[in-house]
Structure 1
């Protein structure tokens, strides 16, 4: 039986929507510089969401959720936030989940755990009009300036210090409910090269190793 390239386990529906939006992009692999690989983003196919929709659930039982996929998939990617009640911090999260995956039967070089500091929204914040559009911002000043003036995103920082709270603040001002559709829309349009988050860079590096672009002889 031919195994599928990769199964991705995420902590909640917003993360799932982010990956779904990214993989919907035409020739998405070129943004990452890796070879294309088949990915079915229907939940339960190659994309899994913890049924509790939370990071602690992925931390404690991610290996159990992925165990059935050892026979059908070559590799496993696990993505969760670092910030949640009782979180032991990034390094401990990565080490714990990785050890559980290996102990449950996955090869160490076939798994990668990505813990985002502090949370997913850090991947989505860029000084781009697409971000303002997705969040429903219609102020007179550019969103970046508005957030700087409000102290939410200091001018000398690449990302808002509280990315999730900042997104929720903008949505509240726009009277727009927070939804997975917003995350999918952002992921469809943001610049991959503009994403400077450390965790995203780690995931990018894993894809380059797992799916290297073939070099013509």
Structure 2
């Protein structure tokens, strides 16, 4: 039996679901030390899996929908930087955020939507230089705007499949506690995810 999207799939009400995918993070690392100068390292990639849950509420329009959504997730994305005896490591952790979804019906049973929101993600930066007896690590939570595009397809009268790509531009934060020294991290991430949503 064919499900008519405009009558049964996108409608006013709540929804919740889970999703998982692949995270590709491109990070700019800037090091500045008195008497040495500034060094910028671009392309420090933290790649890995990301997964989580979401919940929201949507309103049906004439030919589309508008929804607000909150999310919570975790990632195992990691990047390593090695130079001789030096080792640097960047790791992404827990993440949460909120956004709005603006969608429009497709021909047939489906809808395409745009996402705009704000995301907060925890990153851990560590450095080790055994030859100098130097080692430290610190965690900070970066925030930034998120934008993306996705497609929703019906699986049943109450379940939907969701495919989505989105990008987040995080703020730059200084990880150094040493006066006059800066260790600035500015991540940018792209995520492709797939999930399932239950409407209630």
Same structural fold, with TM-score higher than 0.5 when normalized by the shorter chain: no
Higher strand share: 2
Structure showing greater Rg: 2
Instruction: Answer 1 or 2: higher relative contact order, Cα 8 Å, separation at least 6.
Output: 1
Question: As a proportion of its length, which structure holds more helix?
Answer: 1
TM-score under structure 1 normalisation? 0.27
